[in-house]
Chains A and B, each alone.
Chain A
Amino acid sequence: MNSRIPPTPLPSLSIQSAQSLRARIRRRHVAERRFRFYGFAAMFLTLAVLVLVFVSILSKAYTAFQENVLSLTISLDSASIDSTKGSTTGQRNPLTAEYRKLIQTALAGLFPAVTDRHERHLLFSLISEGAPYALRALVTRQQAKIGGDRTVDVLLSDEADQFLKGHITAHVYETERKIKDLQVTWLKELQARGLIHSRFNITLFTAGDSREPELAGILGAVTGSFYLVIVTLSLSFPVGVASAVYLEEFAPRNRITDLIEVNINNLAAVPSVVFGLLGLAIFLNGLRLPRSAPLVGGFVLSLLILPTIIIAARAALKAVPLSIREAALGIGASKMQSILHHVLPLAMPGIMTGTILGLAHALGESAPLLMIGMVAFVVDTPVTLLDPATVLPVQIYLWADSPERAFLERTAAAIVVLLGFLIAMNTIAVMVRIKFERRW
């Protein structure tokens, strides 16, 4: 490109220089193709990483939706269930029966050879800590089951479950894994006898957090997230729309409104963890609001997504043509009426889209919530807005930190649920945009 073009007419070009010119053009075309390939490769690589993230999480997650249970034949005869222990009236009281004993007796009956104390302990630890409570609930619910032997599905412990799913292999040294050789042989025998089968892991969706992976679920976290999103929506939407309307329609152009504008733009880029510090300093230490409460989390997240909503709402208001305002004013509406009755409804699809995207952001946010104590270990599902709660992203963070192998797949499953919610919200936002958006 930089070389000078020879001033002589073309026919007088020597063959040599014509060849070098052609070679140059070929080189430039190769460079062109190379550059274009780089661009394509970059885009392809980025999208491939996106697919990799999704595939790797899904591949970890899918086993979490199944759990392994052992079909045990337990003698639920009246003698052992109708325990009158602890009951003053002598009535049958299925709540006080020793279900752990019942399960252990039934399991020991399958392996009569196991008599050693230590070995029996190993055998019993194949069963989940929660199995006796599940059995108790079953018996109390269906009193008709009492009497005689019943076959009941008993949940296995997380380690046994992980082994059966193939996440723990028997190839590593026995000391390196939690599940011992004896347990492996027992599990294999049980499998050979056809007593073990897998079922849908309903616990994952109906339980709160637990120290035992096989009993842990996301219901508490999902409820907390739901509360948080409701609080965030009911605060940030009215405030965001009101300030957008003021700034776009009423505000005089002066230093103060300029300041507000610059402020909002910069606030949108403040790291989220700083909002957590704000919440800690003002809501917890200043106003003495309770830690871990969805209400406080909602306050913090509202402030966090407010700039997003204001910016989106202003863009939507700006897109409504001036003629609408003028027509309303022309037939005698006040300025407020022209905006509330005409401009705002027309801008609503854009505002809604921005709000839903902001809420999706809030739903996935976790860093500021760590600061205001939403990392507490919460077993119960929150009922009011002031109960201690955790949210789905924080639950993911907590589970990802847990040493138990079985939490890994549950973390991935929780991520799948979170991504499902986010995808749903984004789809709704896109649908709102497509269905209601008007081009002027």
Chain B
Amino acid sequence: MHVLTLLAVLFCISLLGFRISQGRALLLSRTTGLHSLPYHHGQFASLASLLPGLAVILLWSLLEAPLALWLALDHLPVPPNLADGEVRLLTAEISNMAAGYGGRQDTALLAAAWHYRELRETSFTVAATVAVSVSLGGLVFAWRRVTPSYKARNSVERVLKIFMILCSALAVLTTAGIILSLLFESFRFFVHVPFTAFLFGLEWSPQKALHAEQIGAVFGAVPLFTGTLLIASIAMLVATPLGLLTAIYTAEYAAPHIRTVAKPLLEILAGIPTVVYGFFAALMVAPALRDTGAMFGISISSESALAAGVVMGIMIIPFVSSLADDIMSAVPQSLREGSLGLGATQSETIRRVVLPAALPGIIGGILLAASRAIGETMIVVMAAGLSAHLTANPFAAVTTVTVQIVTLLVGDQEFDSPKTLAAFALGLVLFVVTLALNVIALKVVRKYREQYE
């Protein structure tokens, strides 16, 4: 908790800087005109004292642990030609010992651990001193800048703008982080398993991946892809007609007061957490389906694709309906009036004029919903199966890409095994597919919108 105290001290200095710079500027403003308002000078002083101090702490926290370890290792009479893994083991041992968790009774190691601990303590003292003095330096710097001509406001605004640019860049950084981490870990996976064996293999049983020669054969992801497609298709079969017809009703037929009640109610369906749908699917829909099937002599697995698919379909109804509703409402009224004026009934107008005009947008909405269905996790984790079967039977248990990602990563601590890396390869496939669907959908929707604007 040393660091927190240090941060508090820095904030105090920054606050102090604000007060004294503002005070000086106020005094000055009685005699002469200032370029910037007194509080701008105050803000400038608080930034000038806070930011360098924070930068020092950040730099220190990034560098101190590895540097201290490196120095501590240097302290050891290390035997030459130590393998990379051994060094890592040794460093882990030293840092554990330094934290007070026993360890081997090895005097050299113990000495290194002590050395390491001392180094870290000293480094913190040094870092704290540097941070505080840099911060005070910034304060003095800003205080001396309190002159009538100094453009404190511009400086503060520049800092603010840089902060804003960094924040906007975070979105790009996130995407880059996703792509890079997925690519990097997938690449490590494809060192173990050939790319084609993964993409076209028909057997998925990662728990068998014990021996090196088996690894290539048990990571065939085709059953996962078909399982995902099966469940997503069932979901779309439920969501598309229901969502579309609902949208037609709310957009074209419903009286305004029904519309204002029905639309938020439909949105609730999209706001229910997916884990709730998972519970609903696994503990209510699936047993009901199994019992119904047993009545008609059909054997329905209690982890059937049907239960997960139907519930997922319910979840994505609002995605289809609200987008389709928006798109249909955007169709110009003149088209409808033209059709009605020729004697068509309202349903004929909808089917032959409104729907064709809105079709691209509706397709975009359906694609977006499909990408939701493919990426949905909790419903399938709770209601679909774990073992991969290559089947198109909706009554059988299938597994999906997202289920496997979760099961491969939950509980497994080891990060270098092909099992955990396989999750990243699956994640990469999932990311690419959903991204493609989204890009196409957004393109289609945008193109359509431009048509009537």
Residues of A participating in the B interface, judged by any CB pair closer than 8 Å: 1, 28-29, 31-32, 34-36, 38-43, 45-47, 49-50, 53, 56-57, 238-240, 242-243, 245-247, 250-251, 259-260, 263-267, 269-278, 280-282, 285, 303, 306-307, 310, 334, 336, 360-361, 363-367, 370-371, 375, 393-394, 396-397, 400-401, 408, 411-412, 415, 418-419, 422, 426
Contact = CB atoms under 8 A, between A and B. Distances in A.
B402 A273 contact: yes
Interface stretch (B11-19, B48-56, B267-275, B388-396): B267-275
B430 A310 contact: no
A2 to B, nearest CB: 11
Interface in B393-449: 402, 405-406, 409-411, 415, 423-424, 427, 430-431, 434-435, 438-439, 442
B266 interface: yes
A310 B174 CA distance: 14
Interface string B147-178: 00000011001001101110111111011011
Which of B171, B345, B351, B405 gathers most chain A CB within 10 Å? B171
B253 interface: yes
Contacts of A306: 170-171, 174
30 contacts: A28-B348, A39-B246, A47-B265, A50-B266, A53-B276, A56-B280, A239-B167, A242-B164, A246-B164, A260-B169, A266-B442, A270-B178, A270-B431, A271-B375, A273-B402, A274-B375, A275-B178, A278-B177, A281-B181, A281-B185, A361-B271, A364-B274, A366-B378, A367-B381, A370-B381, A370-B410, A396-B276, A397-B278, A411-B279, A426-B271
Closest 5 CB pairs of A and B: A271-B375, A364-B273, A39-B249, A42-B245, A281-B181
B377 interface: yes
A396 B171 contact: no
Nearest to A257: B168
A43 B265 CA distance: 10
Interface string B237-251: 000011111101110
Contacts of A397: 275, 278, 378, 381-382
A36 B170 CA distance: 48
B350 interface: yes
Contacts of A245: 164
Contacts of B300: none
A396 B282 CA distance: 12
Given A43-B249, A46-B266, A426-B271, A57 B276 contact: yes
Interface in B359-388: 368, 371-372, 374-378, 381-382
A39 B245 contact: yes
B182 A277 contact: yes
Contact of A365 (B154, B161, B273, B402): B273
Contact of B275 (A49, A50, A366): A366
B405 A273 contact: yes
Contacts of A57: 276, 279-280
B178 A336 contact: no
A396 B279 contact: yes
A5 B164 CA distance: 67
Contact of B253 (A39, A277, A307, A419): A39
Given A400-B283, A411-B279, A50 B424 contact: no
B346 interface: yes
A361 B275 CA distance: 12
B99 interface: no
Contacts of B265: 47, 50
B181 A277 contact: yes
Contacts of B314: 46, 49, 53
Interface in B215-252: 241-246, 248-250, 252
Interface of B: 153-154, 157, 160-161, 163-165, 167-172, 174-175, 177-178, 181-182, 184-185, 241-246, 248-250, 252-254, 262, 265-266, 268-269, 271-280, 282-284, 314, 317, 321, 344-348, 350-351, 368, 371-372, 374-378, 381-382, 402, 405-406, 409-411, 415, 423-424, 427, 430-431, 434-435, 438-439, 442
Given A46-B246, A271-B434, A246 B168 contact: yes
Given A243-B164, A271-B374, A366-B275, A32 B245 contact: no
A418 B440 CA distance: 35
B171 A307 contact: yes
A10 to B, nearest CB: 15
Nearest to A241: B167
Given A269-B372, A271-B377, 11 more contacts: A36-B249, A43-B245, A43-B254, A50-B266, A56-B280, A242-B168, A263-B175, A274-B430, A303-B174, A370-B381, A393-B378
Given A273-B406, A400-B282, A334 B153 contact: yes
Contacts of B280: 53, 56-57
Contacts of A272: 375, 377
Contacts of A275: 178
Given A46-B269, A280-B409, A243 B168 contact: yes
B84 to A, nearest CB: 17
A270 B435 CA distance: 7
Contact of A367 (B171, B268, B378, B423): B378
B164 A42 contact: no
B3 to A, nearest CB: 13
A230 B242 CA distance: 38
B283 A371 contact: no
Contact of A269 (B277, B284, B438): B438
A243 B171 CA distance: 9
B434 A269 contact: yes
A325 to B, nearest CB: 16
Given A277-B405, A278-B181, A251 B168 contact: yes
Given A35-B347, A271-B377, A273-B430, A364 B275 contact: yes
B234 to A, nearest CB: 15
Contacts of B153: 334
Contacts of A334: 153-154, 157
Nearest to B371: A269
A415 to B, nearest CB: 5
Contacts of B411: 375
Contacts of A360: 271
A370 B181 contact: no
Contacts of B410: 370-371, 375
A60 to B, nearest CB: 8
A250 B350 CA distance: 43
Given A50-B265, A336-B161, A422 B405 contact: no
A363 B271 CA distance: 11
A278 B178 contact: yes
Nearest to B268: A50
Given A43-B249, A47-B266, A366-B273, A243 B434 contact: no
Nearest to A265: B442
A260 B164 contact: no
A426 B269 CA distance: 13
Nearest to B446: A265
Contacts of A282: 177, 181
A47 B157 CA distance: 51
A61 to B, nearest CB: 11
B25 to A, nearest CB: 17
A31 B185 CA distance: 57
Contact of A371 (B167, B275, B276, B409): B409
A281 B170 contact: no
A144 to B, nearest CB: 42
Contacts of B278: 397, 400
Contacts of A371: 405-406, 409-410
Contacts of B405: 273, 277, 371
B172 A43 contact: no
Contact of B241 (A42, A259, A278): A42
A273 B377 contact: yes
